């Protein structure tokens, strides 16, 4: 795995590039948790499958490059062989500008990059595969993403502010207060948010809390500490520990303790 830092002009939009090369001699299956982010994989190695257990139509099979929109449940990936590529995790409104389409069209869906408008990501994948090393690949990503953002119209500043407000609160801010701050009705806020972010604001808030709890528990596990789940729940804005466990079941497919022990 190789981490790349984007150009300074891109860091408000992309925090890092993750280059990887991975060999799986037997089928490798991972459970991927839900989140209010968009996953972009540009690969040129062994293909993989993305499966949402709720519906086969939401996944994609035998692709090396795909975009996964905002998901409100867990899914799995499966691959065998040698995979190589770059992974980016994008904030929803950044992905909306880069992809040039409302994220409501990608909610709970994984789509091969060849199916997206303009096929520019498919061409970029080919150029990344032909590059001689990671430094060259990350420089290429800088140039292409910067040009794409410069050519795309900005999102509605009110919606951008709404997303930043909700994200800054860790999902603990009141959606009613947010609507009042914008001067919108709750119904109008929910409609606009769902169209551009892919999920309604209440679900986005739940996922932001879950992401924070998931990160806190993972960090504790990595340093070998026991996890005080009640403290994690309180620190992430949950009413109680049972609500935390409910969200882990729904968004990760396992209890917090089971997920941590299986990592």
130 plus 171 within the same structural domain: no
Supply the pLDDT for residue 221.
Answer: 62
Instruction: Read off the pLDDT band of 224 (50, 70, 90).
Output: low
Q: Whole-prediction pTM value? A: 0.92
Cα–Cα distance between 7 and 14 in angstroms, integer?
A: 9
The CATH code of the domain that includes 123 is 2.60.120
pLDDT digits (tens, 9 = 90+) for 161-194: 999 999 999 999 899 999 999 999 999 999 999 9
Q: How far apart are the first and last CA of the chain?
A: 18
pLDDT score recorded for residue 263? 60
- State the CATH number of the domain containing residue 256: 1.10.10.60
Give the range of the structural domain holding residue 253, as residue numbers without chain letter: 157-262
What is the SS3 assignment for 85?
Answer: strand
With a pLDDT cut of 70, the percent of the chain lying above it is 97
The C-alpha torsion from 15 through 19 and 24 to 28, rounded to 10°, is: 20
> What is the mean pLDDT of the segment spanning 124-151?
96
The verdict on 55 and 145 lying in the same domain is yes
Residue-wise pLDDT for 87-108, tens only, equals 999 999 999 999 999 999 999 9
Last residue within a domain, chosen from 151, 181, 211: 151
| Domain boundary, last residue among 151, 174, 199 | 151
pLDDT higher than threshold 90 for residue 251: yes
Whether residue 112 is found in the same domain as residue 67: yes
Domain's final residue, options 96, 131, 151: 151
191 Cβ partners below 8 Å, 6+ apart? none
Asked if residue 218 and residue 102 are part of one domain, the reply reads no
Q: Which long-range contacts (CB under 8 A, 24 or more apart) does 169-177 make?
A: 169/205, 169/208, 170/208, 170/209, 170/212, 170/236, 170/237, 171/204, 171/205, 171/206, 171/207, 171/208, 171/209, 171/210, 171/212, 171/237, 172/205, 172/209, 172/237, 173/205, 175/201, 175/202, 175/205
| For residue 218, pLDDT beyond 90 | no
Question: How many CA atoms, within 13 angstroms, populate the side-chain half-sphere of residue 149?
Answer: 16
Whether residue 251 is found in the same domain as residue 162: yes
Residues 109 and 219 in one domain: no
Q: Following DSSP, what letter does each residue of 201-253 receive, concatenated?
A: HHHHHHHHHHHHHHHHHHHHHHTT----HHHHHHHTT-SSHHHHHHHHHHHHS
Report the C-alpha gap between 236 and 220 in whole angstroms: 14
Residues 146 and 161 in one domain: no
Report CA-CA distances (Å) from 180 to 176, 184, 193, 199: 6, 6, 15, 19
% the chain with pLDDT above 90:
83
Q: Is the pLDDT of residue 262 over 80?
A: no
Are 107 and 171 part of one and the same domain? no
Least Cα distance to 34 among 253, 252, 256, 263 occurs for: 252
Asked whether residue 145 falls in the same domain as residue 173, the answer is: no
Contact 34, 73 (CB under 8 A): yes
Residue 24, token pair as written in the block: 């799986």
Same domain, 122 and 178: no
39 closest CA partner among 78, 77, 88, 74: 88
């Amino acid at each position: 795995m190789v981490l790349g830092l984007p150009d300074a002009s891109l860091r408000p939009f992309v925090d890092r590039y993750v280059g990887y090369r991975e060999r799986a001699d037997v089928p490798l299956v991972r459970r991927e948790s839900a989140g209010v982010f968009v996953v972009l994989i540009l690969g040129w190695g062994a293909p993989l499958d993305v499966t949402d257990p709720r519906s086969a139509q939401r996944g994609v099979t035998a692709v090396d490059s795909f975009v996964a929109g905002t998901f409100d449940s867990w899914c799995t990936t499966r691959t065998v062989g040698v995979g190589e590529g770059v992974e980016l995790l994008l904030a929803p409104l950044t992905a909306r500008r880069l992809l040039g389409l409302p994220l409501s069209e990608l909610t709970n869906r994984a789509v091969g990059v060849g199916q997206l408008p303009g096929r520019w990501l498919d061409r970029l994948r080919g150029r990344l595969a032909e590059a001689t090393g990671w430094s060259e690949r990350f420089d290429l990503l800088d140039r292409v993403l910067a040009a794409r953002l410069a050519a795309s119209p900005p999102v509605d500043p009110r919606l951008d502010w709404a997303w930043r407000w909700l994200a800054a609160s860790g999902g603990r801010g009141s959606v009613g207060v947010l609507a009042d701050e914008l001067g919108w009705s709750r119904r109008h806020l929910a409609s606009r948010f769902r169209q551009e972010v892919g999920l309604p604001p209440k679900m986005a808030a739940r996922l932001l809390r879950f992401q924070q709890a998931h990160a806190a528990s993972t960090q504790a596990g990595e340093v070998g500490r026991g996890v005080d789940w009640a403290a994690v729940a309180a620190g992430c804005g949950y009413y109680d520990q049972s609500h935390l466990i409910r969200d882990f079941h729904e968004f990760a497919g396992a209890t917090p303790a089971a997920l941590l022990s299986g990592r």
